[in-house]
Amino acid sequence: MSAYLDELKALLREGGVPAEQAEATVADLASYVAETGSTPEEEFGPVGDFAGRLLAARAPEAGPAGASEWRWTADIFADRQTLARFGDQGWEIDRIDHLGRFVGHRDPERPQRWEYRRELVAPGGGRALAARLAPEGWEPCGTWLCYRYFKRPRAASVGPAAQLDSPPPAPARSVFFSRRFYLLTAVIPLALVVPGIVLTPSHGDTAGFFTGMAVGACTAIATLAALWFWTARRRG
């Protein structure tokens, strides 16, 4: 893997990518390959071809509205809906970086619609899942924690209608969090602190406070686990 990534970094530098950006790109790719348990060749193809695609997707002179590469993030409650919306606008996801952001691009000359799916993957089960979905045209495009994302051109299901004539510009924003996410961020601190206050004796015994904090932490973890399993089982 090291030889592949070293050569990729050299090719990016030769193509005019700044050293810092080339280092960050290679680091993201190394993290992704380590998570999938595969090799760079399996995930990205020949290093020369892959470097060419990355260089072709670069548009350093363009702002957010005209850039061909775009990075954005969404929580697990909104990721599939957001992927569907932007896939319909021609955005193809290339990978997920180490910060959990979707990294994608749109063909400036022949944009087409893309569709995505998210699957819950057990440790070491990524290859078997990819092999099972491959006959339907799905290919991996990123892994985040226990989730693996797949993409395929919409042409696989709708034919020529997948071609886009005049796609909208890239959105100005890059963060798409749902109401449920914000609700969780508000409720979890309360779940941690309130039991500590309630269980603390009136004379201010700190042991009671920390016991309450522990109870609150278990409650918060149980709540997150329940939401995680519920979300993982939902489809659509």
Place of tokens 């892994």: 143
Q: Residue 72 has what pLDDT?
A: 92
What is the C-alpha R_g of the chain? 22
Percent of the chain with pLDDT over 70: 71
Question: Would you say residue 236 has pLDDT above 60?
Answer: no
Mean pLDDT, range 126-145, rounded to an integer? 91
Q: Residue 192 has what pLDDT?
A: 56
Q: How does pLDDT run across 111-120, given as a tens digit for each residue?
A: 899 999 999 9
Burial 24-60 (b: 16+ CB within 10 A, else e): ebbebbbbbbebbebebeebbeebeebbeebeebbee
